[in-house]
Amino acid sequence: MRILDVRVETPKEKSDIAKGRVVLQSEISHPAKTVMVIRGTTPEISFFADNADGRSTAFPWREVVWVKNTAIFDEGQEIMLFPKKFMNHCAVVLDLEDKPVAWLKEDSSLTDIEEAFLKAGGSH
């Protein structure tokens, strides 16, 4: 799992955002990986992220990217990944063409997480 965060109100803030954007885009655009993007920092999301990592670690074609600070998203990227209909979801799974195909809430089960990866083609 890749964890992206920002040291806010420090001289490193802008650099962290820029580096985070590069990493996020690199993971999303990887031609052979299905990617789950998680956003947020609540304890429930932390638990969800651990579960998602557990469902991806054994599969080299799956990646989980946890964006703890939404400033890392490029302008318009967050709304593209989480349209209004899915605003209250914490994760989205992208297919190999970088298109969102499944959204999950922080209370999603391991089965829900696995099904989202499979829906995105994460079974190779």
Q: Report the share of the chain in percent with pLDDT over 70.
A: 98
Give the model's pLDDT for residue 121: 86
103: which 2 tokens?
Answer: 């959204």
Q: Which residue has the higher pLDDT, 95 or 123?
A: 95
pLDDT digits (tens, 9 = 90+) for 59-78: 999 999 999 999 999 999 99
What stretches of 41-124 show up as alpha helix (H) in DSSP? 43-56, 77-81, 110-119
68-107: pLDDT as tens digits = 999 999 999 999 999 999 999 999 999 999 999 999 999 9
48 Cβ neighbours under 8 A, 6+ residues apart? 38, 90, 91, 104, 106, 107, 108
What are phi and psi for residue 35, nearest 5 degrees?
A: -125, 135
Q: How many residues does the chain have?
A: 124
Q: Which two tokens mark 120?
A: 């995105």
pLDDT at 41: 96
Q: Which domains does the chain have, with CATH numbers?
A: 2-119 (3.40.30.10)
Q: What is the mean pLDDT of the chain?
A: 96
